[in-house]
Amino acid sequence: MPTSLTPIAAQGPKVSRFIAGYWRVNQWNKTPQELLRFASECLELGISTVDHAMVYRSEATFGKALALDPGLRSQLQIVTKFGIKPMGFGELGAQAVNHYDSSGAALIQSLDASLQGLGTDYIDILLVHRPDYLMDVRELAATMATLRAEGKVRYFGVSNFNTHQFEVLQRELRQNVPAGLVTNQIEFSPLHLTPLEDGTLEQCQLNDCRPMLWSCLGGGNLLAPASERHQRIHNALRVVADEHAVAALETIVYAWVRALPCAPLPLLGTSNIERVKTALAAEKIQLTREQWYRIWEASTGHPVP
């Protein structure tokens, strides 16, 4: 039975409870036909939301798969991002350093490239990829409002913003686009606990929106431990997995991140449909608080105060 759609924000669109991340799609060595099959299998499992970004160079690759099945686009919610200008990258011109550009012109240019690559005429949720210290919120919010009116983008969000950066854009955007920001896509995993303390999770709750979480598996370090700390977390996950009679640690990791009260939406990064199913199994696992804190303690190396 596929997972059902769920609203990402009070005034936001519905998305799937897990999001298929296409960050590394160019390393998957899949033909368009193979990629279409993967996306279709995800969809059958209920994963209709897909995550891209201009700098991943994932859009054109995914677009070739989409082009093979014209009916697929309308069943998906496409998330993509703009705002990073990497050193020496593609059409945006060679640059001496990676940097950010949240200007209206950069947004329009990046969005047009995204739409063209994906072969679609709209993005469901467009995110500002990184907080740009030079972000002109008036110009940005006005450009967002125009793109929404044109039908090119339905909703907007941010990624990797701290609470101050979120708030200053949110205030301006709400005056232009009432739905406001519908998400903050941030890093969170048993290895990366910062959001538990820095207010980003509570801010989502206060703004009635839900975070997307990237790198929930800690870049693979939880499954193949590379340090004493990794091993400690790995062991704690193993014990909890056994308690739930679950084979894969991934299932427990996703159950662990999904237990947060902000009801986050984890991104997956795999190209393997079996590992997707392993992640989805987390929907059926409810950790006890004691199990959750055991994993937290394994990560921090000390008990709660």
Q: 31, 75, 87, 242: which one contacts a second copy (CB under 8 A)? A: 87
Catalytic residues: 56
Q: 98, 116, 175, 194: which one contacts a second copy (CB under 8 A)? A: 98
> Residue 301 in 3-state DSSP?
coil
Task: Name all contacts of 146-151 with Cβ < 8 Å and 24+ positions apart.
Answer: 147/107, 147/108, 147/111, 148/177, 151/121, 151/122
CB of 177 to a second copy, least distance (A): 18
DSSP 105: H
Taking the least distance from each CB to a second copy, the nearer of 45 and 233 is: 233
Q: Is 250 in the site for a second copy (CB under 8 A)?
A: no
d(CA 228, CA 118): 42
Dihedral of CA 304/241/252/271: which sign? Answer: positive
d(CA 17, CA 6): 7
Taking the least distance from each CB to a second copy, the nearer of 96 and 245 is: 96
Q: 37, 202, 231, 273: which one contacts a second copy (CB under 8 A)? A: 202
Q: Is 160 in the site for a second copy (CB under 8 A)?
A: yes
Q: 5, 108, 137, 179: which one contacts a second copy (CB under 8 A)? A: 137
Q: 22, 56, 214, 296: which one contacts a second copy (CB under 8 A)? A: 296
Instruction: Give residues 163-192 in contact with a second copy (rule: CB under 8 A).
Output: 163-165, 167-168, 171
Q: Is 230 in the site for a second copy (CB under 8 A)?
A: no
In single-letter form, the type of residue at position 47 comes to I
Q: Is 100 in the site for a second copy (CB under 8 A)?
A: yes
Instruction: Give residues 3-32 in contact with a second copy (rule: CB under 8 A).
Output: none
CB of 205 to a second copy, least distance (A): 5
Q: Is 91 in the site for a second copy (CB under 8 A)?
A: no
d(CA 192, CA 300): 10
Q: How many residues bind a second copy (CB under 8 A)?
A: 47
In 3D space, the residue among 251, 237, 235, 242 whose CA is nearest the CA of residue 285 turns out to be 251
CA torsion, ordered 190, 194, 196, 197, to nearest 10 deg = 150
CA distances from 261 to 160, 196, 293 (A): 19, 11, 14
Residues binding a second copy (CB under 8 A): 85, 87, 95-101, 103, 130, 132-137, 160, 162-165, 167-168, 171, 196-199, 201-203, 205-206, 259-261, 289-290, 292-294, 296-297, 303-305
